[in-house]
């Protein structure tokens, strides 16, 4: 369904209109597009915005833009409602000479009027405003609504100015969100890089004495913070990761060498062979000797069996 600007505004005189609407599941508009720009501000309720075949959840404080030719409608749960202010206008509302006089040009950000028609410059369809930001933007919508309803002398000029102010404010808010997101992304990448460095260090120095204190000094980070972010990134604590690396190395030595289990325990960083045997049994499901037997297809010799019995008895 195609909506025409002539249905809502005087296209030649003042191509602008602003409405307050309450949508329910019983009075939703059919899926449609239009030949004008629509700015929507959600004042209350929540719904799914069906936009170009995709669903976007919207709720109070959200503001989004539908460009000419873009297909959309809403989907609501039974008994729920969505209250919105929608501002409709034609791009011809703004004269280019007038805009340049205000210092606004085509080179500016998405919200600075001209790039409205550029579909490549969208911002995930929505700005999620809360607190003071939401109040200030709503105040601008309300000011335009009052001027449009009362139609006092000079109202069209004031609405043009207020709409440009709205667009500039939205541009600032969008840039703030964008900058904040980029900062978070940078910090996230820095953290991932740090964890990779720590993992690499642990994989190279697994046979040495390792502790949170040593690592925190080496990488200039507190022990508590180190263990927390390491767990978040890897799913393991630092100590669990060290045990994993050591056990993996021990399995390799058990299958590729004839070294005694006591020696292998020392080789992978455990001073206490009994602890190594107990840990290996818990992690792998069998003792080191049984593991060697299973992997090599040989029976455990009496010397290995005696050694493991002695270690297990000492636990």
Q: Write down the mean pLDDT value for the chain.
A: 84
Per-residue pLDDT for 163 more than 80? yes
CB-based burial, 37-73: b 16+ in 10 Å, e otherwise: bbbbbbbebebbbbbeeeebebebbbbbbbbeebebb
pTM higher than the cut 0.85:
no
Question: What mean pLDDT do residues 132-143 have?
Answer: 93
Confidence band, pLDDT 50/70/90 cuts, at residue 105: low
Find where tokens 């170009």 sit: 52
| For the chain, percent of residues with pLDDT exceeding 70 | 83
How far does Cα 156 stand from its chain's mean position?
Answer: 41
Assigned token pair, 64: 């989004």
CB of 307 closer than 8 Å to CB of 261: yes
Find the mean pLDDT for residues 298-302: 52
- Residue 96: what pLDDT? 67
pLDDT for residue 73 is more than 90: yes
- The helices-and-strands tally (H runs, E runs) of the chain is 10, 9
* Confidence band of 99 (pLDDT split at 50, 70, 90): low
Residue 186 in 3-state DSSP?
helix
Q: Output the pLDDT for position 80.
A: 93
Tens-place pLDDT, residues 166-212: 888 887 787 777 777 777 777 888 888 899 999 999 999 999 998 88
Half-sphere exposure of 158 (CA within 13 A, CB side): 16
Per-residue pLDDT at 112: 38
Q: What angle do CA 14, 17, 20 make, to 5 degrees?
A: 165
Higher-pLDDT residue of 20, 308: 20
């Amino acid at each position: 369904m195609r909506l025409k600007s002539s249905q809502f505004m005087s296209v030649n005189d003042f191509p602008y209109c602003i409405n307050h609407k309450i949508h329910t599941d019983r009075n939703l508009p059919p899926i449609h597009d239009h030949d004008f720009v629509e700015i929507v501000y959600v004042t209350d309720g929540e719904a799914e915005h069906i936009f170009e075949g995709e669903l976007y959840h919207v709720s109070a404080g959200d503001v989004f833009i539908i460009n000419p030719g873009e297909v959309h409608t809403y989907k609501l749960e039974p008994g729920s409602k969505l209250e919105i202010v929608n501002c409709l206008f034609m791009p011809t509302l703004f004269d280019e000479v007038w805009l340049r006089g205000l210092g606004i040009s085509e080179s500016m950000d998405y919200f600075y009027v001209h790039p409205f028609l550029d579909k490549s410059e969208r911002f995930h369809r929505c700005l999620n405003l809360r607190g003071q930001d939401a109040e200030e933007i709503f105040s601008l919508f309300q000011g335009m609504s009052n001027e449009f309803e009362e139609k006092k002398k000079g109202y069209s000029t004031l609405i043009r100015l207020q709409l440009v102010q709205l667009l500039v404010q939205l541009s600032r808010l969008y840039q703030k969100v964008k900058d904040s997101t980029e900062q978070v992304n940078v910090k996230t990448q820095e953290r991932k890089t740090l964890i990779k460095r720590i993992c690499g260090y642990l994989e190279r120095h697994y046979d040495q004495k390792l502790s949170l204190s040593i690592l925190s000094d080496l990488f200039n980070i507190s022990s508590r913070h180190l263990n927390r972010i390491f767990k978040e990134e890897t799913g393991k604590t630092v100590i669990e990761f060290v045990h994993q690396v050591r056990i993996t190395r021990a399995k390799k030595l058990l299958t590729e060498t004839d070294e005694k289990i006591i020696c292998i325990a020392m080789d992978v960083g455990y001073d206490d062979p009994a602890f190594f045997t107990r840990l290996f049994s818990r992690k792998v499901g069998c003792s080191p000797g049984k593991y060697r037997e299973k992997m090599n297809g040989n029976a455990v010799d009496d010397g290995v069996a005696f050694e493991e019995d002695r270690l297990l008895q000492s636990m």
